[in-house]
Each structure stands twice: as structure tokens, then as C-alpha cells.
Amino acid sequence: MILDLIIIGAGPAGITASVYAARKRIKFLVITKDIGGQAAWSSDVENYPGYQFITGPDLMAKFQEHMEKYGIQLNLNEEVVELEKKDNIIYIKTTKASYEAKTVIISAGKKAKEIGAPGEKEYKNKGVAYCVTCDGPLFAEKDVAVFGGGNSALDAAIQMTDIASKVYLVNITGAFTGDPIMQEKLKNNPKVKILHNTRLESITGEKFVKSINVDTQGKKQALDVEGVFIEIGMIPNSWFASGLDKNERGEIEVNCANETNVPGIFAAGDVTSVPEKQIVIAAGDGAKAALGAFRYLGRLK
């Protein structure tokens, strides 16, 4: 059976696309590894209109409730591993089955690169965070460490100088790759201690993070911090989509209608080249992509 539409991912972009698709009575399926995506990791969401404060898991539960109202077919715990368009049909392979569709919306989001140090997984959301814009305010007047040496790490460290008491900026190489202007700001800030050539060995604590162990070219030390920001980059979940134009970061290139270079394949949210990665932006793009798919299906008739 050839479906009208398959939506890949059920974060803010995919769930919103599914609500719009259901309201247009499109015959479709959502395939996803989980519900909520990255948005469900955020402890505090204070910038989604309509909610002055809501936790990420609560907001995503509301998205899920909204989607379920439409009785949408949802294949959970299933990962798309291949996507290709041939002879006007889009073929999708997953970890469980194969599917065919006339249109697809890729809303598979991004994932943060992890350092892979002991304690990192255990203390995720208990002191270990991957988004300063989102979680930085939780560490007001506390000591924190930011890991990384590119623009996102430097920006994260600058943001934290306004919030935290002390900011360790820990870089694995001997020099930052981020902008010199940002480096200057940090070098002259008395709250900041820069550690180059330094590797994270482990993160320790009790219920929450209490300290980290680092190694600077053989010199080992423990730093008492309550917050650990890993800012070594994000990876778009776009690897399975062959034949699509992607930028140098691996994000799927889309136009302002969320169309990719392949007709019938749309993309929405963090997996795309659209600037700024936020829940409201992903949700808006999901809506646009679903409406675009609906119009495209109309033209096929």
C-alpha cells in the first residue's frame, strides 16, 4: 500500500505536522524513535507562547495528547534507516519494516554530541546539560563548567558569566576555534577560568552533580561544579536521507515552504538548515510542511 504521507519523528515538528495532516484527512503514518524529542529533555520551557512556564516533558505530553485526539497511526520505537525516491515513490526502510509513500516529512531533529565520559549519562538533567539558552538560568550563582572550544561553547560560557558565580571553560585542544571577539570577552572576565589541553575524565555527585575530574596533560584535578554544559556540537539526524541537499553541518536544505530539493520530500524543525533551533520554530515548520504536503498531493490528483 502506498501511503499519502509518512512523518519521520515525533518531536515538536513531527507532532505538529501530524495534527495538521490529520485535520486535512491525509492518509498517513508517523514513524518515530520516541515522543517529544529534544524538547522533552528541557527542564524549564519559558518561551513557548501560551505557557509562561512549563517543563519540557509536560509540554510534550500536551503535544502528544493533542495528536492522540486524532487517532493517528504512530509507530513508536522504530527508526528510519533508509529513505530514497524512485519513480515518484518514496521508499522508506526502518529497523522493523519497509514502507512506500507519495510524500514524506523529515522531522528527525538533532542530537547533542556527547563527550562519552563516565557520569555523563547518569547526570543528564541532574546537572549535565546541553543547552545554555534553555538550562543556564537553573545555575544562578553556582559554579559551572562549559566544555568545548567552538562558537557554541564560547557563547555558552559568555551567557553563563551573567548567571553563574564561576565558569570553567574547558577545551580539549590548545586553542579555541571560536570567534576572536568572543575569546577576548572571556579572557578579560574575572569569573572565567580557561583550561586548554584538558580532558573530562568523569562527572561525580550524589543526586545531582557535585564535581568533575579533569586531566590537563597529565595533571589531574577535581573541580567543584554543580553544572556541566557539554557544548561540542549537535548532529542533525539526516544521515538516512540520501539524495537530499544538505549544508556543511549535515542539515537538510529547505526553502521557506519547507520543500527539499526532491519534490514530495519536505523537512521541518532542527534537522533543517532553518536558522534558530527552538520548539516554536520547529512546530511552525511542521505545520508548514504538512500544508505543503497536502498541496503537493492535490497536484498529483
Any catalytic annotation for residue 131? yes
DSSP class per residue in 14-35: HHHHHHHHHHTT--EEEEEEEE
Residue 63 makes contact with ligand FAD by CB under 6 A: no
Among positions 33, 102, 166, 246, the unique one binding ligand FAD when judged by CB under 6 A: 33
Residue 18 makes contact with ligand FAD by CB under 6 A: no
Which residues lie across from 133 on neighbouring strands? Answer: none
Which residues lie across from 246 on neighbouring strands? Answer: 252
Residue closer to ligand FAD (CB basis): 107 or 183? 107
Binding part of the chain for ligand FAD, among 109-117, 157-165, 169-177, 289-297 by CB under 6 A, reads 109-117
Please give the single-letter amino acid code of residue 51.
Answer: Y
Binding part of the chain for ligand FAD, among 20-28, 124-132, 175-183, 225-233 by CB under 6 A, reads 124-132
State the helix-helix crossing angle for 151-161 and 180-187, rounded to 10 degrees.
30
- Among 4, 131, 143, 285, the one annotated catalytic: 131
Binding residues for ligand FAD, rule CB under 6 A, total 39
Among positions 6, 7, 22, 37, the unique one binding ligand FAD when judged by CB under 6 A: 37
Residues 219-278 that bind ligand FAD (CB under 6 A): 237, 240, 269-270, 277-278
Residue closer to ligand FAD (CB basis): 108 or 117? 108
Residue 5 makes contact with ligand FAD by CB under 6 A: no
Residue closer to ligand FAD (CB basis): 164 or 195? 164
Contacts of 299 (CB under 8 A, 6+ apart): none
Among positions 20, 28, 41, 296, the unique one binding ligand FAD when judged by CB under 6 A: 41
Residue closer to ligand FAD (CB basis): 53 or 217? 53
Residue 107 makes contact with ligand FAD by CB under 6 A: yes
C-alpha–C-alpha distance, residues 7 and 18, integer Å: 7
- Among 4, 44, 87, 135, the one annotated catalytic: 135
Any catalytic annotation for residue 135? yes
Residue 132 makes contact with ligand FAD by CB under 6 A: no
Catalytic residues: 131, 134-135
Contacting positions for ligand FAD (CB under 6 A):
8-14, 31-34, 37-39, 41-42, 45, 47, 79-80, 107-110, 112, 129-131, 134-135, 237, 240, 269-270, 277-280, 282
